[in-house]
A and B are shown apart, each in its own frame.
Chain A
Amino acid sequence: MMHGKRRVAAKEPTQDEKEEARQQLEQYCALNSRVMDLKAQSVFTADALDATRQLLELNTELHTVWNYRRTIIKKLDAWKDTERRQKMLEQELEFLMKVIRNNIKSYWMWNHRMWALSLLPRATWRKELSLVDKLIGMDARNYHAWDYRRFVIARLKDTEDSDAVDEQEFAFTTAQINRDCANHSAWHNRSKLLPAILTRVDQQRREEVLQTENELIQNAIYTDPEDQNAWLYYDWLLDIQKSDEDRIRLLHNKIAAIRELLELEEDGKRPLVELVSGFAELGRLQPGSVTDAEKEECMEILRTLKGVDSYHAGRYADMSSTLSKRWNVSDLCV
């Protein structure tokens, strides 16, 4: 699969370039055949291990070669001795640091790293976490780095105070969101940490925590009202409330916040959708609480949105149709 490789105007390669490409191809094929032959002959030696290293440095995607490499490692004499195994797996981690630069998106490489760490006699999870910090520092949305982070954190929680690790991770997501409130990876991770934190605190502390969440959301929707993350998180906060009473209170806050926001952002598209879905949800939880004027306002908003945001016209039409039936008002989208 090619991702992000630009097409360049065809230019006849020079004789030297052709020769170089031919040699490169021959070397790769020769090495590949050698490794596959060794594997077929069940050779499990240090030489065979080195051959897999050379090949994987050229191509991280060869899962069969990663498998073969693990099999060799476990069959070497050094494996039987704890100290030598520690050293061998540490070298393996260093090798992976080199390969990671070639292709950070290689699933096989990450699997191999998890395998090596799981079998390391004295694993250093804190060191591993600082590696992930570095990777996320370079690319705050890297899917593999975040997945790997959760793996490392789970292990860290086995060896350290689990609640304290959760608190640290929660603070990490706050820092990431403060840096970029559109960081979906950070909002996501936060949503995975918050429920456990809420179960550990008393009612007063619970309200303080939720108030902080509210402030974080408000900050995000003022910074970028069109970004989806904070709004989705807002909806999810409704889901995890203990009672409908709490939900209704939160919905009133949400609607009030949107009204305030709309005074500044008259052309906001998402705040308007959110206003409609806020009223729809409020009406569902507390029948009769949405006034006729508010209902008509919602229908008018959907009609406007259908015109200005043609990409999602179908969604607005569906919302309009559903609400017109539920509220017994005219559907302005037809």
Chain B
Amino acid sequence: MAESSNTTRSLSLLVDKHVEYIKSLDKRQDELEYWMTEHLRISGIYWGLVALKLLDRDSALDKQQVIDYILSCQNTDGGFGGHCGHDSHLLYTMSAVQVLSMYGALDKIESSRVVDYVISLQDIETGEICGDEWGERDTRFAFIAVAILSFFGALSRLDSDRIVEYVVRSMNYDGGFGSGPGGESHAAQVYTCLACLAILGRLDVVDRERLSAWLAERQLPSGGFNGRPQKLEDVCYSWWVLSSLRILGRVHWVDCSRVCNFVLDAQEPDSGGIADRPGNVPDVYHTCFGIAGLSLAGYEDYPLKDVDPVYCMPIECIESSGLRSWINNVPKSWSQEKS
């Protein structure tokens, strides 16, 4: 196996730079990119806030201003758009709920309206969950629906047996999961399916050995992970693969120090932020998943907060929401090898 060039260098996490980078994101109104990404601003805030929380530097954002903004994105159907005036979608509703939860501000919204919105998106015939009223189906949305309802203690409103059946139908010969029945395995879809099953307490349906082996093979000589065989490594898979392995209790099946080096090497040394790969332009998405990946990999040179592998939020937030109980529902035969 080829030695990665970065194992010889000692890299550190550029905490102050990343904080400054995230703070600067809302002040880049002279850049086209700022306006081109308006439609997912609410997710941008979620990624930024998770990164700051894990760095224990969330005071860098104005909490009240963020909460007011999030509330302004809720539509009359109960869902949230990615920005004021944009249509509702589960992707952005999830980000809104996660941000409000991290700020302890879920009581600022009428929970029944959000819950009703989510319930309206389940196809009663197939158990599948649609992303919005236009009907796109994806295992990502099954996870999101389950996760959102768990925040409001409303899981019983959903036909969860049908969701489990749907996730099982999306399982493949390699043990992984695709975007739906028939879809090819992909590490990010694997994460969403495992997280969905974890919340529903149904990880027993997973082929743990085969899937863990497939995930472990995602690590490349650079230390980074790819999302599918023969694809390039990317910092965001540090999260998708490690969170999946954590849920499976098998983080020790990969080399965590090498993935840390890969993520650190993808930092932008001057203006902060983390890119998809070393040498590329950073963005807040990869900054979030890079730091969350470091937290899961046990990065030791900075006291990062522990991240929950199911909700991608600090464990302390998940504990205070009473949602850490998923860990008690992991199959008993797995627990003896928990990493």
Contact = CB atoms under 8 A, between A and B. Distances in A.
Interface string B237-281: 000000000000010111100100000000010000001110111
Contact of A111 (B1, B85, B134, B173): B134
A7 B280 CA distance: 5
Contacts of A39: 85
Contacts of B62: none
Nearest to A67: B87
A218 interface: no
B217 A115 contact: no
Contacts, number: 145
Interface in A178-214: 182-185, 187-189, 191-192
Interface in A63-104: 63-64, 67, 70
A191 B35 contact: no
Interface centre among B132, B182, B250, B253 (most CB of A within 10 A): B182
Given A5-B281, A64-B86, A312-B253, A141 B39 contact: no
B32 A28 contact: yes
B30 interface: yes
B128 to A, nearest CB: 14
Interface string B138-178: 00000000000000000000000000000000001111001
Contact of A115 (B134, B216, B337): B134
B279 A7 contact: yes
Interface magnitude class on chain B = 35 or more
Contacts of B40: 61
A29 B35 contact: yes
A125 interface: no
A39 B86 CA distance: 10
B39 A63 contact: yes
Interface stretch (A142-150, A158-166, A242-250, A252-260): A142-150
Contacts of B280: 2, 4-7
Contacts of A59: 36
B17 interface: no
A29 B35 CA distance: 7
Contacts of A334: none
A320 B2 CA distance: 25
Given A36-B85, A67-B87, A188-B185, A232 B39 contact: no
Contact of A63 (B35, B89, B253, B255): B89
Given A184-B228, A318-B337, A4 B277 contact: yes
Contacts of B132: 63, 67
Contacts of B185: 184, 188
A227 interface: yes
A3 interface: yes
Contact of A182 (B39, B178, B230, B286): B230
Interface string A303-323: 000001111111100100000
B285 interface: yes
Contacts of B175: 232
Interface string B34-52: 0110111000000000000
B173 A236 contact: yes
A228 interface: yes
B268 A7 contact: yes
Contacts of B85: 36, 39-40, 64
A24 interface: yes
Nearest to B186: A143
Contact of A188 (B172, B217, B255, B281): B172
B81 A32 contact: no
Given A141-B228, A310-B255, A312-B254, A146 B275 contact: no
B223 to A, nearest CB: 9
Nearest to B91: A63
DSSP class of A's interface residues: helix, strand, loop or mixed? helix
A156 interface: no
B149 to A, nearest CB: 23
Contacts of B253: 312, 314-315, 318
Contacts of A184: 174, 184-185, 228-230
Interface in B165-217: 172-175, 178-179, 182-186, 210, 212-214, 216-217
A70 B135 CA distance: 13
B282 interface: yes
A331 to B, nearest CB: 14
Contacts of B182: 150, 192
A28 B35 contact: yes
Given A6-B280, A64-B87, A184-B229, A311 B35 contact: no
Nearest to B210: A235
Nearest to B212: A315
Given A192-B182, A228-B217, A318-B253, A3 B276 contact: yes
A192 B217 CA distance: 22
A21 interface: yes
Contacts of B252: 314, 318
Interface string A216-227: 000000000001
Contacts of A25: 30-32, 35
B173 A311 contact: no
Contact of B173 (A21, A70, A232): A232
Contact of B234 (A3, A61, A183): A3
Q: Top 4 closest A-B pairs, CB basis?
A: A314-B252, A236-B173, A191-B173, A184-B229
Given A229-B229, A318-B250, 9 more contacts: A3-B276, A4-B276, A29-B35, A63-B87, A141-B231, A188-B173, A192-B182, A232-B174, A232-B175
17 contacts: A2-B280, A4-B276, A5-B280, A21-B32, A28-B36, A32-B35, A61-B39, A182-B230, A191-B173, A236-B174, A239-B173, A309-B1, A311-B1, A312-B253, A312-B254, A314-B250, A318-B250
